[in-house]
Structure 1
Amino acid sequence: MAETLFEELKRYVGFGPEDEQALRALHEVAQPEFPAIAEVFYARILEHEGARSALAGESQVGHLKVTLRAWMEQLLRGPWDENYYNLRCRIGRMHVRIALPQHYMFGSMNTLRQEFNRIIDENYARQPEVLRAARVALGKILDLELAIMLHTYREDLLAQQARNERLSTFGQLVGSIGHELRNPLGVIETSLFILKGRPLASDERATKHLERIGEQVTLANRIVSDLLDMIRDKPLKREPLRLDEVWKDALTSVQGAPGVSIQAEGLEGLPTLQGDPGQMRQVFVNLLENAVQALGETGTVTLSASSGPEAVELILEDSGPGVSEPIRRRMFEPLMTTKARGIGLGLPLVKRIIERHGGSIVYAPREGRGARFVLKLPLPTSSL
């Protein structure tokens, strides 16, 4: 059986049973200090603007400290198997998604190395052989951690660059075709307006077909607009933004089946933000249309809102089938769609608009069935 990359890396650094034993022994004395190490670790990170902005400032640090303690638990207890490797790979991919520069990874690992070496010195000062074994094992496992994260970081970064190159070519093509399509669509709309005023319109079948033509022209115009919005930097209006009013306006554009219920709570209590009401309306419309289409004839769509010290949080949930794991990884990429009709621009546009407002959007799976999107938008004191 072929050797896996993780097995090759362990062989390369000489990581074996003796090192595993030394790390488990170190875990016994280091575990009580995990909370203090997490405090030192993130205090160091927050001193640097680049790392702080990649981690979304101090708002996420409380959660990340808990995650780091779990990371240290597995670091020193193992098992150091393929599941361990796969979990560490996700960390490298996350660094790509949040655009965390690689040099912060090295700096962060050095902070952990210093803290663990301090614990080794304090606990094994009178046991030189144990001290040496612990220090060697620690060096190997931290080197393995860096090797795994850098490997996956490089893989995902190269894939991201390839996608960006494809999108650049796509954008040039769309810009040319989109403007050319506006002309024939404009002619069709004008001719349709004239036909509707002629005796032909008294024929019920003719009237029905004229309405269908009008609907399809509207749909085609929207697709062209969405395509063009994806490739151009549409200026943001910076004005008072009341999300409850934007939500109510968006509801007028979304039609669901009679058995579909759309509810919202907490919007009225949100503070006034700064942003573009028109573009935020598009965010709500796109998310609502996706949810309603996923539900079909029956189900519930719920929006809940709350405000924190730095940002407002919106959670949009539906009781539909949810999104499969393979689709989640690419759901915010342009042209990615599972619909029979549609070209996969709704969620990419949502992400683009939210990020231009200084916010973020993630897909957070629900327990059981259903989809959940979590949006965060900065309060007015934060920059857009």
Structure 2
Amino acid sequence: MAETLFEELKRYVGFSTEDERALLSFHTVARDHFARIAKVFYARILEHEGARTALEGGESQVGHLRGELQLWMEQLLHGPWDESYYEMRCRIGRKHVRISLPQHYMFGAMNVLRQEFNAVIDDNYRDKPQELAAIRGAMAKILDLELAIMLHTYREDLLAQQARSERLSTFGQLVGSIGHELRNPLGVIETSLFILKGRQTTPDERTVKHLDRIGEQVTIANRIVSDLLDMIRDRPLKREPMQLAEVWQSAASAVHPPAQVTVTARGLEALPTLQGDPHQLRQVFLNLLENAIQAVGDSGTVELTAKVLPDMVELALEDSGPGVSETIRRRLFEPLMTTKARGIGLGLPLVKRILERHGGSISYSPRPERGAGARFVLRLPLVS
């Protein structure tokens, strides 16, 4: 039978049954320190803005995350270090990928654990140099294996992104050709529709209804073509000083939610003046608002909250809809990915493209501690 990746990794670092016995021996000593180490670990994370913003669920979830880390340490030192252990660690690595945790924080975090464990080893085995050396060696190997597994999950994601990029490149070429070809027949339909409406001397209610429906569908088709073309070309940003409160208000006034759907915004007036393209950022708000209103249905809430961070402004748009299933969250910002019965999945990719061209970002997470619902976090840089 072929050697598995985990078996190869263990062989490469020399992780043996002697190392397993050393870890099991250390486990009985170290488990009394798990809670303290978890506290130190997350205190260090909270000191660093980049690591802190990657916490899933925000700082309110730190207590829960400490408990998860203690379980991780239990498995680290108690094993069994078999294929199920490897798969379990891969799932953790994929979660790091999903929340976009930068890889360098993994190395920093692992160093914190390494230092804390080594301190416990030194304190308890100072008079037993052979055991001390054996346990230190086993800890170094198992923590390096943990890093190797996590990096493997990032490599999985990189290969998947490359495959998607190749597909999107082909998609872009096709879209450019089709989009331009569709403009001509749509233009003919619009012109003919205008002429037909102008020749109605005695308007017939049924005829007017169907002509209006044709016009509405042509408008929808034109918007789809425009969105497709916007996805494959970068319109230059027309940067100017702007107030996000005004941009939001312009977008909010263009949507018409049902009577039982409440749309609110908090904190926008306190934001400083930003540099950006108000027209394109209005499109960002408009796309997100339309998605949120469709998600909540006939009744619910859509709420935008804004705050200033050290180097950026953060906007969180939450709705009380069903949220997005975990199976498609990683592909949520890809073209043609949609959770709606209607539409072809171009709104969120366009939002992401516009924000990135402004030096910003967008991410998705379920609403923390509020049951069902979606939460999109937008960040834009401050410009002095």
State the TM-score, normalizing by the size of structure 1. 0.82
1:129 offset after TM fit, Å? Answer: 2.6
| CA distance, structure 1, for counterparts of residue 202 and residue 381 of structure 2 | 52
Task: Report the CA distance between 1:377 and its aligned residue.
Answer: 1.4
User: Which SS does the other structure have where 1:199 is aligned?
Assistant: coil
Aligned residue pairs total 369
C-alpha distance in 2 between matches for 1:287 and 1:168: 25
Distance in 1 between the 2:72 and 2:296 partners? 43
> Per-residue CA shift, 1:32-51, capped at 9, x if unaligned?
577777788999xx9xxxxx
Deviates more, 1:166-175 or 1:69-78: 69-78
Q: Name the residue aligned to 2:314.
A: 313
The one-letter code matched in structure 1 to 2:169 is S
Q: Where do residues 1-384 of structure 1 align in structure 2 (5 Å cutoff)?
A: 13-14=15-16, 16-23=20-27, 25-26=29-30, 28=32, 32=36, 56=50, 73-74=70-71, 76-78=73-75, 80=79, 82=84, 85-86=87-88, 89-91=91-93, 94=96, 98=100, 100=102, 109=110, 113=114, 116-117=117-118, 120-121=121-122, 124-199=125-200, 202-366=203-367, 367-381=370-384
The answer (yes or no) to whether the contact 1:354–1:377 under 8 Å persists in 2 is yes
Over the aligned positions, Cα root-mean-square deviation in angstroms equals 3.6
Worse-superposed segment, 242-251 or 118-127: 118-127
Contact 1:88 1:145 in 2 (8 A): no
Supply the distance in 1 between the matched residues of 2:159 and 2:286 (Cα, whole angstroms): 33
Whole-angstrom distance in 1 between the partners of 2:188 and 2:102: 49
Q: How many Å apart are 1:83 and its aligned residue? A: 7.3
Q: Which residue of 2 aligns with 1:50?
A: none
CA shift in 2, pair 1:188/1:83, >3 Å: farther
TM-score by length of 2: 0.82
**Contact 1:317 / 1:371 at 8 angstroms: preserved in 2?**
yes
Give how far 1:254 is off.
1.5
CA separation of 1:84 and 1:24: change in aligned 2, threshold 3 A: farther
Cα deviation 1:145-197 (Å, max 9, x = unaligned): 02211221221111111011100110011011111111111122122222221
Structure 2 unaligned regions, length at least 5? none
Q: Which residue type is aligned with residue 281 of structure 2? A: M
AA aligned opposite 1:77: E
The answer (yes or no) to whether the contact 1:96–1:153 under 8 Å persists in 2 is no
Seen in structure 2, the aligned counterparts of structure 1 residues 312 and 272 have a Cα distance that, compared at 3 Å, is: same
Report the residue type matching 2:93 in the other structure: I
Residues 154 and 33 from structure 1, CA distance in 2 versus in 1: closer, same or farther, beyond 3 angstroms? closer
* Per-residue deviation, 1:130: 2.7
Give the Cα separation in 2 of the matches to 1:39 and 1:373. Answer: 26
Give, in whole Å, the separation in 1 of the partners of 2:228 and 2:202: 33
Question: Percent of aligned pairs with the same residue?
Answer: 61
Q: Which amino acid aligns with 1:25?
A: V
Q: CA deviation at 1:29?
A: 6.0
- The farther-off stretch of 109-118 and 280-289 is 109-118
1:110-162 CA-partner distances (Å, limit 9, x unpaired): 67646754664465332213312321221221122022112212211111110
C-alpha contact 2:304 2:317 (8 A) present in aligned 1: yes
The amino acid of 1:301's aligned partner reads V
SS in 1 for 2:318: strand
**Aligned partners of 1:89 and 1:149 also within 8 Å:** no
